[in-house]
């Protein structure tokens, strides 16, 4: 058991060796930093205009509490995992010494670790970019109050809802949003992994695009405009979509904080973890039939 | 400059691409203004066309696309030839330094060329479309300030294109990655914006938006921006030659 676990970890950590001096990996992190700048620009300009400060985590909360930002940030991972299923020169040796199952588990552990690093980098970038206008104490700022309790927040399309402010504090909200993003992104990447192994790279990329489009299309605002739904139906549609759309599950303010019938954070975590476990089992199953092709062995 | 470099960098397809992209993007970015003009029955004010061109060339969408557009003709040239094995053939006939110098100069010129031709094309298209519906200047005093502003902007477009193309060439050679020839100028552009807007507002000389739309006094009636950008282009070119020499040492 311990030997197997060691092999899984070795297969996972071996992939990190390719990060050193890798232009693609560097590009992903720099683009993520630029994306954070572009996404936080609205809130920083707002705070500057009102001459107010922000809590250090608020920029992350308002930015990644929005489904579009989560979607944009997650799509950058397509570049990070462009070489999926990570077949390297060491793969034949891993397969000789351990089973396919151990190898693929190693790849999944690598995905979890690298996604964690990527999201941590996103969080730190957002904090660094807003640091000149921020404080660290665990209380909501004046900027947040203006955004939540006035019409200006709605005009800026920032999800600074009153319920977020009243139900928790900045660091706790940040942790919830980080966890939701992590689970959503892992679900997306695991789907990509299944399709990559099962049907090839193109199918992997297409599966991510379909998964993301499904989330975008199931937006209550879009549906209301499209189907011209009255207010009472809009609420029902919002609750229904809150349950069936993975992107809405990843959106913090689309959860039940005691006001409505949307999924609670705990239910969302269970749904995502359930999906991830199912996708892990599916990946292990499809790996059994996966035909490995190593460079230099093609006839 | 080597003839085969100039032939590839200044081919007609880049001329068409630069013109097409800039004109199309300009139209998209000013769609509301164009629609307004289309719907109005009155003649436009004298000098409207020139100010329209200048405002469009300084618009956010065009500024966003310029770093990528300028790299298209020739920024990946060194890495393409290196990976295809053509460099060995070339340096057996000419000196390594001449080869690298030619790449650096032609890349800078091609980057400047694609952007300046695009801006010129936008001016021509705008004049053809809007000048006939603009009031005649015979009864008013001819103001040549917009023309001077356009000439200055044209020059700044040229040097900006040269700088971004050279940056792409330098980073693609440094990291031996073709992809970075197109992506690195875009990344550097935004990193410089972040550097200025979030941390060092006093450092306006490294602010890319200031290079095209100067709000501070740069000296010589803002012509010193061109000198500054040329100095940066020369620095990137020198960096490329040094990195290229190191790469070619084993050939």
Q: How far does the CA of residue A61 sit from the closest CA of chain B (Å)? A: 19
**In this predicted model, which residue has the larger pLDDT, A49 or B137?**
A49
Residue A223 lies in a domain: yes
3 state SS of B61: helix
- Is A129 at the interface with chain B, CB within 8 A? yes
3 state SS of A257: coil
Query: A21, A30, A59: which to substitute to probe chain B, counting the most B Cβ within 10 Å?
Result: A30
Q: Do B179 and A27 touch (CB under 8 A)?
A: yes
pLDDT at A155: 64
Angle at A161 between CA A158 and CA A164, to 5 degrees: 120
pLDDT at A163: 64
3 state SS of A134: strand
Q: Do B198 and A34 touch (CB under 8 A)?
A: no
Question: How far is the C-alpha of A8 from the C-alpha of A113, rounded, in Å?
Answer: 13
Asked if residue A85 has a cis previous peptide bond (ω within 30° of 0), the answer is: yes
pLDDT tens digits for range B148-166: 888 888 999 999 999 999 9
Question: How far is the C-alpha of B148 from the C-alpha of B224, rounded, in Å?
Answer: 15
HSE-up of B159 (CA within 13 Å, CB side)?
20
Mean pLDDT, chain B, integer:
86
Statement: residue B143 has pLDDT above 70: no
Q: Do A132 and B180 touch (CB under 8 A)?
A: no
Distance from the first to the final alpha carbon of chain A? 38
Q: Do A23 and B175 touch (CB under 8 A)?
A: yes
Asked if residue A165 lies in contact with residue A144, where contact means CB atoms within 8 angstroms, the answer is: yes
Listed ranges A115-124, A245-254, B90-99, B124-133; the one with the highest mean pLDDT: A115-124
Residue A296 lies in a domain: no
3 state SS of A82: coil
pLDDT at B191: 92
A16-44 burial, b at 16+ Cβ within 10 Å, e below that, comes to eeeeeeebbbbbbbbbbbbbbbebbbebb
Which of B176, B180, B187 lies closest to A34 in CB terms? Answer: B187
pLDDT at A299: 46
Residue A295 lies in a domain: no
pLDDT tens digits for range A126-153: 999 988 888 888 888 888 888 777 777 6
Q: Do B180 and A27 touch (CB under 8 A)?
A: yes
pLDDT at B24: 87
The gap from C-alpha B13 to its chain's centroid, in whole angstroms, comes to 16
Partners of A134 in the β-ladder: A54
pLDDT tens digits for range A179-213: 999 999 999 999 999 999 888 888 888 999 998 88
Statement: residue A93 has pLDDT above 90: no
Statement: residue A248 has pLDDT above 70: yes
Residue A201 lies in a domain: yes
Q: Residue B201's closest chain A neighbor by CA? A: A132
- pTM of this prediction? 0.84
Statement: residue B238 has pLDDT above 90: yes
Confidence of residue B233 (pLDDT cuts 50, 70, 90): very high
Chain A positions in Cβ-Cβ contact with residue B177 (cut-off 8 Å): 23-24
Residue A271 lies in a domain: yes
pLDDT at A164: 65
Mean pLDDT within A39-64: 86
Q: Do A23 and B193 touch (CB under 8 A)?
A: no
Residue A293 lies in a domain: no
**In this predicted model, which residue has the larger pLDDT, A153 or A81?**
A81
Q: Do B190 and A37 touch (CB under 8 A)?
A: yes
- Is A20 at the interface with chain B, CB within 8 A? no
Q: At what angle do helices A2-16 and A100-130 cross, to 10 degrees?
A: 50
Q: Do B194 and A33 touch (CB under 8 A)?
A: yes
Q: Do B180 and A31 touch (CB under 8 A)?
A: no
Asked if residue A279 lies in contact with residue A108, where contact means CB atoms within 8 angstroms, the answer is: no
Chain A positions in Cβ-Cβ contact with residue B176 (cut-off 8 Å): 23
Chain B positions in Cβ-Cβ contact with residue A26 (cut-off 8 Å): 175
Q: Do A27 and B191 touch (CB under 8 A)?
A: no
- Is A30 at the interface with chain B, CB within 8 A? yes
pLDDT at A127: 92
For strands A134-135 and A54-55, give the pairing. parallel
Question: How far is the C-alpha of A114 from the C-alpha of A250, rounded, in Å?
Answer: 19
SS3 letters across A178-234: HHHHHHHHHHHHHHHHHHHHHHCHHHHHHHHHHHHHHHHHCCHHHHHHHHCCCHHHH
Partners of B134 in the β-ladder: B44
Chain A positions in Cβ-Cβ contact with residue B196 (cut-off 8 Å): none
Statement: residue B214 has pLDDT above 70: yes
Mean pLDDT within A237-243: 83
A74-112 burial, b at 16+ Cβ within 10 Å, e below that, comes to bebbbebbeebbbbbeebeebeeebeeebbbbbbbbbbe
Residue A181 lies in a domain: yes
Q: Which H or E element spans position A135?
A: strand A134-135
Chain B positions in Cβ-Cβ contact with residue A30 (cut-off 8 Å): 187, 191
Partners of B44 in the β-ladder: B134
Residue A299 lies in a domain: no
Which of A26, A38, A132 lies closest to B199 in CB terms? Answer: A132
pLDDT tens digits for range A2-47: 888 888 888 889 888 888 888 889 999 999 999 999 988 888 888 8
Asked if residue B154 lies in contact with residue B120, where contact means CB atoms within 8 angstroms, the answer is: yes
For residue A45, what are the domain limits? 2-287
Mean pLDDT within A264-289: 91
Mean pLDDT, chain A, integer:
85
How many structural domains are present in chain A? 1
Q: Do A132 and B198 touch (CB under 8 A)?
A: yes
Confidence of residue B137 (pLDDT cuts 50, 70, 90): low
Question: How far is the C-alpha of A6 from the C-alpha of A24, rounded, in Å?
Answer: 28
Asked if residue B140 lies in contact with residue B46, where contact means CB atoms within 8 angstroms, the answer is: yes
Closest CA to B207 of B155, B140, B160, B145: B160
Q: Which H or E element spans position A55?
A: strand A54-55
Question: How far is the C-alpha of B52 from the C-alpha of B125, rounded, in Å?
Answer: 12
């Amino acid at each position: 058991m311990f030997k197997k676990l060691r092999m899984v970890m070795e297969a996972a950590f071996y992939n990190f060796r390719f990060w050193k001096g890798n232009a693609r990996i560097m590009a992903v992190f720099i683009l993520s930093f630029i994306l954070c700048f572009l996404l936080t620009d609205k809130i920083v300009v707002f705070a500057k205009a009102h001459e107010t400060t922000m809590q250090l985590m608020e920029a992350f909360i308002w930015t990644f509490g929005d489904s579009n930002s989560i979607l944009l940030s997650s799509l950058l991972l397509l570049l990070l995992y462009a070489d999926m299923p990570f077949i390297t020169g060491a793969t034949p040796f891993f397969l000789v010494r351990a089973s396919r199952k151990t190898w693929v588990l190693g790849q999944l552990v690598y995905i979890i670790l690298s996604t964690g690093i990527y999201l941590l980098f996103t969080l730190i970038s957002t904090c660094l970019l807003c640091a000149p206008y921020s404080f660290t104490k665990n209380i909501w700022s004046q900027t947040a109050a203006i955004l939540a309790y006035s019409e200006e927040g709605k005009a800026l399309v920032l999800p600074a809802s009153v319920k977020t402010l009243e139900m928790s504090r900045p660091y706790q909200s940040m942790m919830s949003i980080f966890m939701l993003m992590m689970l959503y992104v892992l679900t997306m990447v695991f789907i990509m992994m299944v399709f990559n192994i099962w049907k090839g790279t193109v199918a992997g990329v297409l599966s991510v695009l379909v998964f993301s489009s499904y989330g975008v299309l199931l937006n209550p605002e879009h549906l209301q405009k499209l189907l011209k739904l009255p207010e009472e139906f809009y609420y029902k549609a919002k609750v229904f979509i809150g349950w069936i759309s993975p992107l809405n599950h990843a959106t913090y303010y689309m959860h039940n904080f005691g006001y409505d019938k949307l999924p609670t954070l705990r239910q969302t975590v269970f749904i995502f973890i359930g999906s991830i476990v199912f996708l892990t089992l599916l990946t292990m199953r499809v790996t059994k039939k996966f035909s490995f092709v190593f460079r230099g062995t093609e006839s | 400059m080597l003839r085969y470099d100039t032939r590839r960098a200044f081919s007609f397809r880049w001329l068409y691409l630069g013109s097409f992209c800039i004109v199309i993007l300009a139209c998209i970015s000013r769609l509301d203004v164009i629609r307004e003009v289309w719907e109005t029955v009155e003649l436009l004010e004298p000098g409207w066309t020139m100010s329209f061109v200048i405002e469009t060339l300084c618009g956010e969408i065009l500024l966003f696309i310029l770093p990528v557009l300028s790299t298209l003709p020739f920024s990946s040239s060194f890495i393409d030839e290196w990976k295809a094995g053509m460099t060995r053939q070339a340096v057996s006939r000419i000196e390594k330094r001449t080869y690298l110098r030619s790449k650096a100069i032609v890349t800078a010129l091609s980057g400047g060329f694609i952007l300046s031709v695009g801006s010129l094309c936008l001016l021509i298209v705008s004049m053809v479309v809007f000048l006939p519906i603009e009031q005649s200047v015979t009864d008013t005093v001819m103001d040549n300030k917009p023309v001077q502003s356009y000439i200055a902007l044209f020059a700044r477009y040229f040097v900006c294109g040269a700088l971004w193309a050279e940056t792409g060439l330098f980073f693609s050679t440094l990291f031996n990655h073709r992809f970075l020839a197109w992506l690195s100028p875009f990344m550097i552009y935004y990193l410089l914006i972040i550097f200025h807007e979030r941390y060092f507002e006093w450092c306006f000389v490294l602010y890319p938006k200031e290079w095209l739309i100067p709000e501070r006094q740069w000296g010589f009636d803002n012509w010193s921006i061109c000198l500054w950008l040329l100095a940066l282009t020369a620095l990137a070119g020198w960096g490329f030659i040094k990195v290229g020499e190191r790469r070619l040492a084993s050939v």
